[in-house]
Amino acid sequence: MKNPARAASAVLTYGFVGLMAFLSIFPFIWMVLGATNSSIDIIKGRLAPGEALAANVAKFFTQVNAPLVFWNSAKVAILATVLTLAVSSLAGYGFEMFRSRRREGLYRAMLLTLMIPFAALMIPLFIMMGKAGLINTHVAVVLPTIGSAFIVFYFRQSTEAFPSELRDAAKVDGLKEWQIFLYIYVPVMRSTYAAAFIIVFMTAWNNYLWPLIVLQSNETKTITLVISSLASAYYPDYGVVMVGTILATLPTLAVFFFMQRQFVQGMLGSVK
Amino acid sequence: MVHARRGGIGRYYDVNGWLFVAPALSLIALFMVYPILWSLWMSFQSGRGMMMKFAGFANIIRLWNDPVFLKALTNTMTYFVVQVPIMILLALILASLLNNPRLTGRGFFRTAIFLPCVTSLVAYSVLFKGMFAPDGIVNSTLQAIGLIASPIPWLTHPFWAKTLVIIAITWRWTGYNMIFYLAALQNIDKSIYEVARIDGVPAWARFTHITIPLLKPVILFTTVISTIGTLQLFDEVYNLTEGKGGPSNATLTLSLYIYNLTFRFMPSFGYAATVSYVIVVLVALLAALQFYLARERER
């Protein structure tokens, strides 16, 4: 008697979830198909593989100094990631292992900075970078992003699981505090580092507003800025734009598929 | 742990603590705290470029007489009021459906719905701009299945441009929120649902009376995160709709207006800083309100 109702609900569930999954994936399919079509066909909504892939790729590589642009993006993202992880893990470890009332107060004050919107920082930061003569440099892009309250928070939360017996044993063996951190904490916490790496790398690779303000010459621009300017041309060549978006999305897509567990763990870092 | 404060060991302990946290704290102080205080000071200044003088509350008064600011504020609040609830509800429904272990292929569905999170905000905005072109794939599909008679002017009509921004953000962030709910659902004892099912509680009531109350802390967390994100909306609007703010500023957001004031028009740092403090105040107020509401319902 209950079967028709159950069948109907199953159809409804699968229909809804399937539709959502389809809508989520569709733009990716459209992007890949788009790269094989001419700009006019893309704008006309053609949804089949075309023959313009080679032409689009060739046009992309003539219009864009691709090796330089990707080098810029990689440089900014890797610098930001390595420095953020180093500074934040030191702080997360410090806050958790060496507790004091004053540091606890500062930690809480630091968490408040999570609410500061970037829009309220960009003008002073821009003036600061101008005064320091850093406009149009990658240092200016990376520098303000290294101190991240969120990543410090993430490391501190994860450090709770770090066995303090390890630290005590190392102290008995005569290791200095920095040696304990470097030789014991870092290797033990590598999955935390992996998850944090993914968050910071993605954010840095995809960062847009701040680089848009600071990077003004074509020699320093990152892939995100290049795609944006390709697409905002009066008559954008969508075939070329599609090639660009594919190339810009590939690194983060690869990270996602090869490190899916850490990826999700990183995203969830804050709720435990 | 705080007992060893006095004497040599206590000092050693404390110095090490400071050394470990110093780099991060000084960077945050220099690039977050100092600028946010500076822009507060700036918001009481007026003038062009670097030539500024104290102006008292002139900038705040200027806000209420600035139709572009009021438009940007209305738009930003519209995105927030319309988009965040739709997305949170959608993510909750998807999470509770995909939490069912008997659903075949749920791993695939989860990955698929999460996939938009890997795209950069610029990349997906550019994709959506192409898909929602006048003769683009979306309009031609809607016409083919007979839902609309003539193409929708997604990019050029104020109402549709706003709708497009909302659709785009929802596409990008629903899976992200869903992941939080799925993780939280795993900590809920499955037997609660079994008992409710046996007692004949219908699926919708299980959702509203079990899932939502139990997930409240996570829902609160994601709502705060989404609020802060929506109030800062920039990349999508800048890349999605024409003319950097859409048809007659229909999609202009506060962040975009600050950008325009600072980097596109004659730089007006003082006034732009005042607008940026509107976001600061809104974020603080809405976050406080959400925490308050969640606490109220707990009683």
Report CA-CA distances (Å) from B13 to A176, B2, B9, B84, B141: 12, 10, 6, 46, 67
The answer as to whether B80 is a domain residue is: yes
Examine residue B1 and state whether it is found in any structural domain, yes or no. Answer: no
> Are B159 and B43 contained in the same domain?
no
- Quickly count: other Cβ atoms within 10 Å of residue B58's Cβ: 14
Provide the CATH number for the domain around residue B190: 1.10.3720.10
Distances (CA, A) of B175 to A20, A120, B116, B137: 10, 28, 7, 23
Range of the domain at B172: 63-298
Residues of B whose CB is below 8 A from A39: none
If you average pLDDT over every residue of chain A, what do you get? 90
* Yes or no, beta carbons of B279 and A206 under 8 Å apart: no
SS3 content of chain B, % helix, strand, coil (to 5): 75, 0, 25
Q: Does residue B118 lie within any of the structural domains?
A: yes
Chain B residues lying within 8 Å of A124, measured CB to CB: 34-36, 38-39, 42
pLDDT of residue A265: 72
pLDDT at residue number A46: 83
- SS3 at position B46: strand
Cβ atoms of residues A193 and A262 within 8 Å: no
- Provide the pLDDT for residue A191: 86
Verify that B185 and B221 share a domain, yes or no.
yes
3-class secondary structure, B228: helix
Does B168 share its domain with B37? Answer: no
For residue A215, which residues of chain B lie inside 8 Å, CB to CB? none
Structure tokens at A202: 């993605």
* Residue B112 confidence (pLDDT): 93
* Same domain? B210 vs B286: yes
Percent above pLDDT 70 for chain A: 97
Looking at the fold, whether B29 and B150 belong to one and the same domain comes out as no
Q: Which of A70, A122, A235 to mutate to test the interface with B (most CBs of B within 10 A)?
A: A122
Do B27 and B106 lie in one domain? The reply is no
B114 plus B204 within the same structural domain: yes
B36·A93 Cβ contact <8 A: no
Neighbours of A164 (CB within 10 A): 11
Give ipTM to 2 decimals: 0.89
Q: Which residues of A touch B269 (CB under 8 A)?
A: 123, 127
Domains recognised in chain A with CATH numbers:
3-56 (no CATH), 63-268 (1.10.3720.10)
Which parts of chain B register pLDDT below 70? 1-9, 48-51, 242-244, 296-299
Neighboring chain A residues of B133 at a CB cutoff of 8 Å: 43, 45
pLDDT band per the 50, 70, 90 thresholds, residue A19? very high
Which residues share a beta bridge with B53?
B46
Residues B46, B93, single domain; the answer is: no
Residue A119 has pLDDT above 80, yes or no: yes
Predicted local distance difference test score (pLDDT) of residue A2 = 58
The pLDDT tens digits of the residues spanning A159-173 come to 988 888 888 899 888
Residues in a beta bridge with B54: B45
Same-domain pairing of B165 and B76: yes
DSSP letter at A52 equals -
pLDDT value at A180 more than 90: yes
- B2 occurs within a structural domain: no
Question: Do B150 and B204 share a domain, yes or no?
Answer: yes
Q: Who's near A135: CB < 8 A, 6+ residues apart?
A: A126, A129, A214, A216
Q: Give the dihedral of Cα atoms B159, B161, B164, B166; nearest 10 deg.
A: -70
The answer to whether the Cβ–Cβ distance between A119 and B263 falls below 8 Å is no
Q: Poorest-confidence range of A94-98, A265-269, B203-207?
A: A265-269
Q: How many domains, chain B? A: 2
Please compute the mean of the pLDDT values over residues A199-227 and round it to a whole number.
93
pLDDT value of residue A269: 59
From residue B200, how far is each of A13, B196, B203, B206 by CA, in Å?
19, 6, 9, 10
Residue B102 DSSP SS3: coil
Check whether residue B124 and residue B238 sit in a common domain: yes
Q: Which helix (H) or strand (E) holds B131?
A: helix B121-131
Put simply, whether A206 touches B (Cβ < 8 Å) is: yes
Residues B102 and B193 in one domain: yes
- In-domain check, residue B261: yes
Does B15 map to a domain?
Answer: yes
- Lowest average pLDDT, out of A86-95, A185-194, B242-251, B262-271, goes to B242-251
Window 135-194 of A: residues touching B by CB (8 A cutoff) are 143-144, 146-149, 152, 177, 181
